[in-house]
């Protein structure tokens, strides 16, 4: 028997959103590693990179050559800005280390700036924030042009930065810089960034008693949901939703696990995948005969789940770690960064 794929038409009202992010990471106490690394991402895809060793901006997507050739003035400004901001960020880090009196160990300092744009409503959300050693440190409030200090250790810095009006006026204009960068990237990268790709869906199970995992890979963009149905009803319990993770080719993967007893009628269950902007949903019926397992067919069970390896490789080359990082959770990226740095020392 084969997996039954049903294409059902449904109304998709999910908004189309785009984001551009600029992430700088400074570290100390790590030998043979760049003191400062900067990456730019659009729609969570890394587009360019610079660090304190190479001292120049590098593009990391083939289509970025279109931008460089089509708008050389912008490309020169964009890459030079990455290098300039490295020096600014390094100075901020060194001053902060002295102020906090933190010496003699590995330290991580991060800055995330960017914006989100909703194509449907035109709404724009701008963000600019700092993290120190895995915790939120300072967040810029655009309307008041002042800083918010989530931690008591950041209060002194907050007051000092609040008084720097010229600096805060510059960050107030981040919305204009950000949106200009976003439109440039979308214009020259539209063949890649605005594409739609449906996934390959597989059913996986480690052992006969393990949950069944519905795994989708190769889809784009990363605005997708996946869940299980039983007898036509969406299930909300007994499932474990995994995060959307990157593949090495710029597409994404995700999975959702279902706990189902051997005694049940498995054919009552269906795995449903929905991609934003696509009216069709992919429905995969749960069938024991098509499940790929480690205990029956080891050779068939090797799924190209490259997230862990890809994250490490991408980080060493570009320090994005593919951003399991959430905008309001600087600590998530820090954990990934700290793990990678630790692995480099061993």
- Give a three-class secondary structure readout of 127-191: EEEEEECCEEEEEEECCCCEEECCCHHHHHHHHHHHCCHHHHHHHHCHHHHHHHHHHHHHHHCHH
CA 138, 140, 141, 145: dihedral to nearest 10 degrees? 120
Residue 332 confidence class, pLDDT cut points 50, 70, 90:
very low
Q: Which residues pair with 141 in a beta bridge?
A: 146
pLDDT in tens, 183-237: 999 999 998 888 899 999 999 999 888 899 999 999 998 889 999 999 999 998 7
Give the domain-ending residue among 144, 172, 192. Answer: 192
What's the CA gap between 56 and 33, in Å, rounded? 16
Helix (H) or strand (E) holding 43: none
81 belongs to a structural domain: yes
Digit-coded pLDDT (tens) for 69-116: 999 999 888 888 888 888 889 999 999 988 988 766 788 999 999 999
Q: What is the CATH number of the domain that holds 213?
A: 2.60.40.10
Residues 282 and 234 in one domain: yes
CB atoms within 10 A of CB 174: 18
Give me the pLDDT at residue 320, please: 38
Q: Residue 174 CA to chain centroid, in angstroms?
A: 21
Residue range(s) defining the domain that contains residue 105? 17-192
pLDDT bin (cut points 50, 70, 90) of residue 295 is low
What is the spatial distance between Cα 151 and Cα 165, in angstroms, rounded to a whole number? 22
| Same-domain pairing of 183 and 274 | no
Rounded mean pLDDT of the chain? 80
Are 27 and 175 members of one domain?
yes
Contacts of 249 (CB under 8 A, 6+ apart): none
């Amino acid at each position: 028997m084969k997996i039954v794929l049903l294409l059902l038409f449904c109304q998709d009202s999910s908004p189309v959103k785009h984001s551009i992010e600029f992430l700088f990471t400074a570290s100390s106490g790590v030998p043979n590693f760049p003191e400062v690394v900067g990456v730019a991402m659009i729609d969570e895809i890394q587009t360019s990179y610079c660090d304190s060793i190479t001292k120049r901006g590098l593009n990391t997507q083939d289509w970025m050559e279109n931008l460089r050739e089509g708008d050389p003035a912008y490309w020169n400004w964009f890459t030079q800005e990455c290098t300039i901001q490295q020096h600014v960020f390094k100075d901020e880090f060194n001053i902060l280390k002295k102020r906090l009196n933190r010496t003699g160990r590995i330290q991580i300092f991060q800055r995330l700036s960017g914006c989100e744009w909703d194509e449907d409503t035109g709404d724009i959300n701008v963000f600019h924030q700092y993290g120190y050693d895995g915790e939120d440190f300072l967040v810029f409030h655009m309307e008041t042009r002042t800083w918010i200090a989530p931690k008591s250790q950041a209060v002194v810095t907050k007051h000092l930065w609040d008084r720097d009006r010229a600096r805060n006026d510059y960050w107030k204009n981040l919305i204009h810089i950000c949106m200009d960068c976003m439109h440039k990237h979308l214009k020259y990268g539209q063949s890649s960034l605005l594409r739609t790709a449906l996934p390959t869906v597989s059913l996986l199970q480690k052992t006969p008693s393990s949950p069944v995992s519905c795994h989708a890979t190769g889809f784009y963009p990363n605005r997708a949901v996946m869940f299980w149905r039983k007898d036509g009803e969406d299930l909300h319990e007994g499932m474990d939703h995994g995060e959307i993770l990157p593949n090495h080719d710029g597409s994404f993967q995700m999975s959702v696990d279902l706990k189902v007893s051997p005694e049940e009628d498995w054919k009552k269950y269906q795995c449903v995948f929905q991609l934003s902007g696509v009216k069709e949903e992919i429905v995969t019926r749960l069938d024991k005969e098509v499940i790929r397992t480690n205990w029956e067919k080891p050779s068939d069970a090797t799924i190209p789940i490259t997230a862990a390896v890809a994250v490490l490789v991408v980080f060493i080359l570009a320090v994005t770690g593919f951003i399991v990082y959430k905008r309001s959770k600087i600590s998530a990226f820090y954990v990934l960064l700290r793990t990678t740095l630790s692995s480099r020392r061993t």
